[in-house]
Amino acid sequence: MPALLPGILELSRRARYFSFHAFLLDEYHRRRMPADPGSLSLFIRRREWDLGLAVQRCPDECGSSPVGARGLGAFAGRSGPFPRGESVESNLGGYGLYYRTPMAEVNVVARAGTLLGDQPIPIDVLRDTSRARRLAEEFRTSVRDTAYYRRAMWTNDLLPAEVVDEYAAVACLCRLRERSSEQQAVHDALFGGDHADPVDSSNQASADVAALVQRRRSVAHYLALVAADPMVPWSHAAYREALWSPPTPRSEAHAAVAGQWAALVAKDVWQEALCSVWSQFCRDGLAYSRKQGRGLTSEELQRVVTEMVAGPPTLAADSLTTDVADAARTGRLALPDEDGNEVVVADAPLEDLRWLSVRSDNAASGLVLLLELRRRATGRSGAGWAQATRLRSAWQPSLQEVLQALEVHLDGSPTVAETLWWLVSRFVVPVHERIAYSKLPECTFRFRWEEGLLRFYDQGMGRFPLAAVRDVPLGWLTWDLGLYTADGPEQSRLTARGVSFVAEVLT
């Protein structure tokens, strides 16, 4: 995700927090408050708390969720006055958790330790650039006439309801959509540079320029998906399917970024397929070893794996894996949905097949999903697809390596049982052992080899969750910035600003 969408974290979701936190850092510097990390952290956490109270009392009842919402919940609906508090028990509060990294990566904040001359700065500061200064000034302009800013912000007194409500009317996260100048300042912070040309590399480090270009393209690609399918901001499944089957690219650059995101979906499908195999292997291996009262030999493990074909769908252990792939391709293989209906594999969207394998949670569905991914990935090409499919983790090979290895394996005409054993012996057992050993002294083993036997541990059999794919922050940030609007599901549409941004970046 840092490669696909640099500068935007999963929980850096609301655009106005960028201007709000710039405002806090600027106020702290202007008032010459202590250049001490602990003092700055306390200052930010307390002001985040106050903003959270205001967001909860939004006069439009917008339902925005502020930083520290869990702690603020006890005060929702109360009449005041309200106690002062701190947003979250973490260094630098929500800023430190969710917005510090993005604001540093887009070069509006210099983090503590940054060299200023010959000396590292002791605390985070706003950079001395027009982008950064305008970001802070825009939020200040919106709140400067409130009683909160004039006095209450600088005291520890109880907050009267009327003070909070006046602050809420101008400072709530939803109000950004009413302030075009502040919207533009946040837009420029995320998608602009500190020179006339936002993507001019002449005076910026090449890595910063590359990150800026990538961020702009990924966000513009998201907006292109919204334009093609209004359900994208509302449905996780619609978003994933749109990434896999995007509209026709507008340019070579658009094709590259679309290929990158399609590869991300393919990586997740591979993970889910493997996880279905893993899940049944853990369950059946533990049950068999309990029956034996000991760990299992290699031959017994192969017997366990051979029997992991009951499904659904039910597969024959001695049938050729390529025959299963052909059955899926020609519409002769189906997976059951939650209502017991048969979903024909060849006709179903890839996202539906992924979810059906998760629901079935067994090796047969995982194998079918992997074979169908192989078929649908065949013929995919382009710079973005190639780049993203070559990325690997510390423990597992890249998707490109997996698909190539699968082709070599299938060339040997293996049976279903042999393919399941290939998956378990290559991608499950050795990988899990390496990961679990890396976490010692904590014991996270589901199984490990001991004296020639694979011993299973009852440590829970849950699936491994997929990494977040940024649909929530993309949806909120682009909505806050006025790049699309929506009155409800299937009613999303790009604004003139959104259309212009897509055309500027992707055409």
Q: What's the whole-number mean pLDDT along residues 142-146?
A: 98
Residue 201 has pLDDT above 80, yes or no: no
Residues 352-362 have a mean pLDDT of 97
| Rounded mean pLDDT, 343-362 | 97
Count of other CB atoms within 10 angstroms of residue 58: 19
Pair 157, 288 in one domain: no
pLDDT tens for each residue of 424-454: 999 999 999 999 999 999 999 999 999 999 9
Question: Whole-number mean pLDDT of the chain?
Answer: 95
At 298, is the secondary structure helix, strand, or coil?
A: helix
Binning pLDDT at 50, 70 and 90, where does residue 481 land? Answer: very high
Question: Is 245 part of a structural domain of the chain?
Answer: no
Rg (CA), the chain: 27
Residues 449, 352 share a domain: yes
State both tokens at 349.
Answer: 């969207």
Single-letter residue type at 205: A
What confidence tens digit (pLDDT) does each residue in 369-410 have? 999 999 999 999 999 999 999 999 888 899 999 999 999 999
Q: What is the pLDDT of residue 198?
A: 47
- Taking alpha carbons only, the member of 177, 242, 211, 191 closest to residue 476 is 177
Q: Out of 180-184, 192-196, 337-341, 460-464, give the one with best mean pLDDT.
A: 180-184
150, 179, 195 - which closes a domain: 195
Q: Which of 149, 178, 195 is the last residue of a domain?
A: 195
Residue range 69-94: average pLDDT? Answer: 90
Residues 105 and 180 in one domain: yes
Residues 427 and 343 in one domain: yes
Query: Taking the model in full, what pTM does it have?
Result: 0.94
Mean pLDDT of 63-74: 90
| Assigned domain for 66 exists | yes
> What integer is the mean pLDDT of 76-85?
88
Classify residue 48: in a domain, yes or no. Answer: yes
| 161 band by pLDDT with thresholds 50, 70 and 90 | very high
Assign 195 a pLDDT band (cuts: 50, 70, 90): low
User: Is 471 contained in some domain?
Assistant: no
Give 466-484 as a 3 state SS string. CCCCCHHHHHHHHHHCCCE
Do residues 266 and 365 share a domain? yes
Of 209, 265, 190, nearest in space to 483 by CA: 190
Same domain membership, residue 304 and residue 442: yes
How many domains are contained in the chain? 2
**Position 197 confidence tier, pLDDT thresholds 50, 70, 90:** very low
Residue 33 located in a structural domain = yes
Q: Which of 162, 195, 228 is the last residue of a domain?
A: 195
Query: Same domain, yes or no, for 152 and 50?
Result: yes
Residue 78 banded pLDDT, cuts 50, 70, 90:
confident
The CA distance from 55 to 168, in Å, is: 6
Q: For the residues 447-462, what does the mean pLDDT come to?
A: 92
* Torsion sign across C-alpha atoms 240, 241, 247, 250: positive
- Determine phi and psi for 296, rounding to 5 degrees: -110, 145
On whether both 280 and 186 belong to a single domain, the answer is no
Range of the domain at 111: 16-195
Residue 451 lies inside a defined structural domain of this protein: yes
3-state secondary structure of 437: helix
Q: Is residue 93 domain-shared with residue 190, that is, in the same domain?
A: yes
Domain presence at residue 232: no
Does residue 397 share a domain with residue 318?
Answer: yes
pLDDT band at residue 117 using 50, 70 and 90 as cut-offs: confident
pLDDT given for residue 15 in this prediction? 98
Provide the 8-state DSSP code for 97.
Answer: I
Quote the percentage of the chain above a pLDDT of 90: 90
Does the residue 479 lie in any domain?
A: no
- One-letter amino acid of 208: D
314-318: which pairs have CB atoms within 8 A and are 24 or more residues apart?
A: 314/364, 315/364, 315/367, 315/416, 316/416, 317/415, 317/416, 317/417, 318/415, 318/416, 318/417
Q: How far is CA 505 from CA 187, 191, 213, 295, 324, in A?
A: 14, 10, 9, 58, 43
pLDDT tens-place string over residues 28-45: 999 999 999 999 999 999
Predicted confidence at residue 205, as pLDDT, reads: 64
Do 395 and 305 reside in the same domain of the chain?
yes
- Whether residue 495 is predicted with pLDDT greater than 50 in this model: the reply is yes
